[in-house]
Structure 1
Amino acid sequence: MKKCSHLIVSLLLVVLLFSCSEQQDFGQYDDLEITPTYETSIFYVKTQESLINRISGLNFFTQDFNFDAFEEDLFAERVIEGVLTYELVNTTSKEIEITLEFLDENDTVLDTEFFQMDAAPTALLIREVAYGITGKSLDIITNTSKIRLSARNLGDNSSRSSLPDPAIILSSSAKFMVRLK
C-alpha cells in the first residue's frame, strides 16, 4: 500500500509538472524596446537690474558653461529625440538681447539661439527647441561641449523698474528620449 501511494503521488507530480508549464519564448528579449525619457535642468542665471546699471556698455553678462553631459557614449549613441526649453523673464526697465551659442570642443559654433525682450512689464517668454526627427539635428546636442551665454542691455544705465526685485532670469531644461536597448 505504501508503494502504491508513493507511485500515485509521483505520477501526480509528473502530470502537474508537465500540464502546468508552457513553452517558454526567450526570443521576446529581441523584440523589447526600452526608451526612457530623461529630464534635467541645464542652467539658471539671474542678473539684478542694479548690477546692469553699474556696467557701462551694451554687454552686461558673458559666460561660458562647460557642457559635457551629452558627450557620453551612453547618450550620444542612443538619443532618439528631445527638447530644450528656455524660460526668460525681464522685470527690469531695460530692453535686452540674449544670445546662446552651442560650441564644440574646438569652440566652433554649432547652433545659436537668440532672444530679445522688451522692458517690464513683459510676459514670460517660453521657447521650446526640438532636436531629432522633427527638429534640429541631434549632432548639435551630441557635439556640444560648451554653451556661451551673452546678454546685452539695449536700454540705459540709470532707469529703475518699479517692480520689486527687478531682474532678468533665464533658465533652461532638457528632456530627451534615449534608446537603452
Structure 2
Amino acid sequence: MKSSIKLLLTVLTGFSVFVSCIEEQDFDQYDELQANPEVEASILYIEAPESFVNAAGNADVITRNFDFNAFSADLFAERVLDGTVTYIVQNTTSKPVDVFVELLDVNGNVLDTERIESEAGMVNQQVDIAYGSAGKSINIIKNTSSIRVTARNRGDSTSVADNPDPKIILKSSGKFRLELK
C-alpha cells in the first residue's frame, strides 16, 4: 500500500510539473522583432595653435588624411540604416578659417565634402550632416575609407588673439542607427 501511494504521488507530481511548465511557444516573434539600436562614437579630434596658423601664412594650415575604415567595415556597412555626423569647430584665434572635411572611398575619390566657415573668435560652431532617409545617401557613409581635413587661413599671418591659448579645434562624432537582424 505504501508503494502504491508513493507511485501515485510521484505520477501526480510529475504530471502537475509537466502541465504547469507547458506554454504554447510563439516562434514567429523573431519576425516581429525590431532591434535598431543607436551607436555613437568620436571620429576625429584635431587642433592647431595660432602660432602654427601664422607660420603657414596664406597656405593651408592643415591638410591631413586619416584612415577611417570603421564605416566601410562589413559589420557596420551591412547594418547601418541612417545617422548623423556632427562637426564642431572652435576658433579662438584672431583669424577667420575655412575647414574642409572630405569623405573618401578606398581609391581616394571624394564622396562628400563639407565646408565650415569659422570666423575669428567663434567658439563651438556646430554642423550636423544627416545621412540616410532624412539626408544624403547612406552609401556615402558605407563607402568611406578615409577622411581628409584641410584648414585654410582667410586672415593675416601676424595678428595674435588676446586669449591665453588661441587655437583652432575640429571635433567630430557620429551617431548611427543599425539594424541587428
TM tier, smaller: over 0.9
Instruction: Give the Cα separation in 1 of the matches to 2:20 and 2:88.
Output: 62
Equivalent AA in structure 1 for residue 68 of structure 2 = F
SS in 2 for 1:3: helix
Equivalent AA in structure 2 for residue 165 of structure 1 = D
Structure 1 consecutive aligned stretches of length 4 or more whose deviation exceeds 3 Å: none
TM-score, normalised to structure 1, is 0.93
Instruction: Give the Cα separation in 1 of the matches to 2:62 and 2:24.
Output: 66
Contact kept? 1:102, 1:148, Cα under 8 Å: yes
Instruction: Give the Cα separation in 1 of the matches to 2:58 and 2:170.
Output: 21
Give deviations 1:116-162, integer Å, cap 9, x for gaps.
11111x24201111111111100100111111111111111110000
Matches within 5 A, 1:74-113: 74-113=75-114
Equivalent AA in structure 1 for residue 50 of structure 2 = E
Structure 1 gap segments, 5+ residues each: none
Equivalent AA in structure 2 for residue 172 of structure 1 = S
Partner residue, 1:138: 138
Instruction: Give the Cα separation in 2 of the matches to 1:44 and 1:34.
Output: 31
Partner residue, 1:7: 7
Contact kept? 2:101, 2:147, Cα under 8 Å: yes
Partner residue, 2:67: 66
**Range with greater deviation from structure 2 (58-67 or 21-30):** 21-30
Contact kept? 1:82, 1:174, Cα under 8 Å: yes
Structure 2 gap segments, 5+ residues each: none
Give deviations 1:39-96, integer Å, cap 9, x for gaps.
1110100100011111232311100111111111111111111110111110000010
Contact kept? 2:111, 2:144, Cα under 8 Å: yes
Equivalent AA in structure 2 for residue 178 of structure 1 = L
- Quote how far apart the aligned CAs of 1:11 are: 3.2
Partner residue, 2:49: 48
TM-score, normalised to structure 2, is 0.93
Task: Give aligned pairs, total.
Answer: 180
Instruction: Give the Cα separation in 2 of the matches to 1:105 and 1:135.
Output: 23
**Range with greater deviation from structure 2 (130-139 or 21-30):** 21-30
Contact kept? 1:58, 1:154, Cα under 8 Å: no
**Range with greater deviation from structure 2 (161-170 or 69-78):** 69-78
- Quote how far apart the aligned CAs of 1:17 are: 1.8
Contact kept? 2:57, 2:156, Cα under 8 Å: no
Partner residue, 1:164: 164
Instruction: Indicate the RMSD between aligned Cα atoms, in angstroms.
Output: 1.4
**Range with greater deviation from structure 2 (153-162 or 13-22):** 13-22
